[in-house]
């Protein structure tokens, strides 16, 4: 049961941070061979504190 909890938490983390996840060989092959995989990426780190402040007004 512990494995399921760890897996679920990591999948949630990936979802929140928009990280692609391969859960089988076909998906992994698709991700690695994607043209988007080879392009540079601009990473935007959200200001979570500002988001919270605006949501809690």
What's the whole-model pTM score? Answer: 0.52
pLDDT of residue 17: 83
How do the domains of the chain map onto residue ranges? 2-55
pLDDT of residue 1: 66
Q: How far apart are CA 56 and CA 48, in angstroms?
A: 12
Q: How far apart are CA 48 and CA 29, in angstroms?
A: 33
pLDDT of residue 2: 84
What are the tens digits of pLDDT across the range 4-53? 888 888 889 898 888 889 989 999 999 889 888 888 988 888 888 888 88
């Amino acid at each position: 049961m512990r494995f399921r909890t760890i897996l679920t938490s990591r999948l949630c983390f990936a979802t929140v941070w928009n990280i692609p996840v391969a859960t089988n060989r076909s998906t992994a092959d698709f991700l690695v061979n994607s043209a988007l995989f080879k392009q540079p990426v601009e990473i935007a780190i959200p200001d979570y504190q500002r988001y919270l402040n605006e949501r809690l007004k």
